[in-house]
């Protein structure tokens, strides 16, 4: 039996063919053109066309039929639709920070912050569709004013494939509109935002399936009527794909952005917002912290800070091995604002402690360290809420860097399991397909871990002192 997992990420369309009993057979990825995606927003028609091309190319040489399809998208996105459910503009992603100023004004009301956070598990931050909608509403944006319906990446793709209007509770839990306790749209939040229930899609479990439309099936080269599983968000499917449905496994992904996650059987929210709590599947919640700056900070450095693309990341990594860590500058990785733990989406980044004696290698080191310090800062807060994880599983673009992965282990002072699965979230979509078809129990998922990185005990005090200094700079420059 062959299954097809598809994904819309921040920068590309992806597809995976998985054979039950034999594993991953083929993976295809097509990056979005700049006209389609500028990270903060995406052209919905261009996104769908790229996904269709990706699917057609991966299935064209298949000798047996695909028997089911599963969807994965990013967690936070907003799309306005007209009365005929046609897009009124672009899809706004988690990276769209236009709402940061308005969100900052609302955050000044501590009681409002607690009220929103305790109901939704989402802080007041421009990451979330709720606050992006409020921004467009308050700016009297034409698309928002004309919108009859609100949608997202996942809903748009699912509707185009099946004709059904629905959204996964998993994805909806990252909108700021879902009550994290009842797993239903929160009527009080909707009233606060001036959104009507009829503007929103029906809520479904991540394993919910609808038949593939005949018209789109022909275009894709697939069999009409095969089940399309609605799936969920990339972070959640990453957790599932890495076997993290158990409560003792923490997943850490470092790609364009970064995140750490643990699973809980109940809603877990600190008294002071520092982490988030979303819905995973089967009554389980996922608790964690996300960062806006990770691989995108590395790309910024390579492109903007004098390298001009002349040095490869391999050359930068070789140079950074000779840096004197004790004397290195510090980097606050908030070039794209802050998500966790402070939720200040208008926060600025910076390189601090820089002198004329420092080189580009010293600065590059500071970027690598600063990204991980932001994630470790989230971990400090998460560790106060949850039991220590038995395993930490690392995935994403970071695993291509031996130096950076070792730095993770040294900063966290824990063994780090490197995921052997290159596209973990796609594998998570496969697991949900198999669960929907009655072929897989989520608790039985065992991911493939490769190399185990062991911490260097000699680095404990060095990174401990530097993290303490990082936190001091973080607090001083909060405003």
What would the DSSP string read from start to end of 245-308?
TSTTEEEEEESSSEEEEEEESS----SS--SEEEEEETTEEEEEEEES-SHHHHHHHHHHSS-T
Question: Nearest-CA neighbor of 32 among 58, 59, 6, 54?
Answer: 54
Q: How far apart are CA 198 and CA 110, in angstroms?
A: 30
SS3 203: strand
For CATH 3.30.420.40, the residue range(s) in the chain are 2-235, 243-420+448-479
CATH fit for domain 2-235, picks 3.30.70.270, 3.30.420.40, 3.40.47.10, 3.20.20.70: 3.30.420.40
Task: Go through 155-187 and write b for each residue having 16 or more CB atoms within 10 A of its CB, e for each that does not.
Answer: bbbbbbbbebebbbbbbbbbbbbbbbbebebbe
Q: Which tokens in the block code for residue 184? A: 């239903």
Is the domain covering 243-420+448-479 a CATH 3.30.420.40 domain?
Answer: yes
Task: Go through 260-295 and write b for each residue having 16 or more CB atoms within 10 A of its CB, e for each that does not.
Answer: bbbbbeeebbeeebbbbbbbbbeebbbbbbbbbbbb
> Please, are residues 151 and 81 in contact by the beta-carbon 8 Å criterion?
yes
289-333 pLDDT, tens per residue?
Answer: 999 999 999 988 888 775 655 677 788 888 899 999 999 999 999
Largest Cα–Cα distance in the chain? 65
Task: List, for the chain, all residue ranges whose pLDDT scores fall below the cut of 70.
Answer: 306-310, 444-448
Q: Which tokens in the block code for residue 449? A: 């871990």
pTM of the model: 0.91
């Amino acid at each position: 039996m062959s299954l097809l997992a598809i994904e819309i990420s921040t920068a590309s369309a992806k597809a995976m063919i998985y054979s039950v009993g034999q594993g991953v057979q083929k993976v295809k990825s097509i990056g979005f053109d700049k006209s389609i995606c500028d990270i903060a927003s995406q052209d919905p028609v261009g996104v769908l066309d790229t996904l269709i091309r990706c699917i057609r190319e991966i299935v064209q040489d298949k000798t047996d039929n695909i028997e089911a399809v599963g969807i994965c998208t990013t967690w936070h996105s907003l799309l306005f639709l007209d009365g005929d459910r046609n897009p009124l503009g672009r899809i706004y992603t988690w990276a769209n920070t236009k709402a940061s100023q308005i969100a900052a004004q609302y955050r000044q009301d501590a009681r409002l912050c607690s009220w929103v956070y305790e109901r939704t598990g989402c802080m007041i931050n421009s990451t979330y569709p709720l606050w992006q909608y409020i921004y467009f509403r308050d700016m009297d944006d034409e698309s928002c004013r004309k919108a009859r319906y609100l949608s997202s990446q996942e809903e748009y793709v699912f509707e185009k494939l099946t004709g059904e209007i629905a959204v996964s509770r998993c994805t909806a839990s990252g909108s700021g509109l879902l009550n994290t306790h009842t797993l239903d749209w929160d009527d009080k939040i909707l009233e606060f935002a001036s959104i009507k229930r009829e503007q929103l899609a029906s809520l479904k479990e991540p394993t919910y399936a609808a038949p593939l439309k005949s018209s789109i099936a022909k275009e894709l080269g697939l069999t009409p009527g095969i089940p399309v599983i609605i799936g969920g968000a990339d972070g959640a499917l990453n957790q599932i794909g890495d076997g993290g449905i158990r409560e003792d496994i923490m997943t850490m992904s470092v790609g364009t952005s970064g995140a750490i996650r643990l699973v809980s059987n109940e809603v877990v929210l600190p008294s002071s917002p520092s982490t988030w709590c979303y819905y995973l599947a089967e009554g389980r919640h996922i608790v964690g912290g996300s960062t806006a700056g990770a691989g995108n900070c590395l790309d910024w450095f390579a492109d903007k800070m004098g390298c001009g693309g002349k040095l490869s990341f391999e050359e930068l990594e070789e140079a950074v091995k000779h840096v004197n860590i004790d004397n290195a500058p510090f980097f606050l990785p908030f070039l794209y604002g802050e998500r966790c733990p402070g939720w200040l989406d208008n926060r600025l980044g910076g390189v601090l402690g820089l002198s004329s004696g420092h080189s580009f290698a010293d600065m590059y080191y500071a970027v690598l360290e600063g990204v991980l310090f932001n994630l470790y800062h989230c971990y400090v807060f998460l560790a106060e809420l949850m039991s220590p994880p038995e395993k930490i599983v690392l995935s994403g673009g970071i695993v291509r860097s031996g130096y950076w992965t070792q730095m993770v282990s040294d900063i966290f002072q824990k063994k780090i399991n490197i995921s052997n699965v290159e596209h973990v979230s796609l594998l998570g979509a496969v697991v949900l397909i198999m669960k929907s078809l009655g072929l897989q129990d989520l608790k039985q998922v065992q991911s493939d871990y490769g190399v185990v990185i062991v911490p260097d005990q000699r680095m404990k005090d060095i990174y401990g002192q530097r993290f303490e200094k990082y936190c001091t700079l973080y607090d001083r420059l909060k405003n």
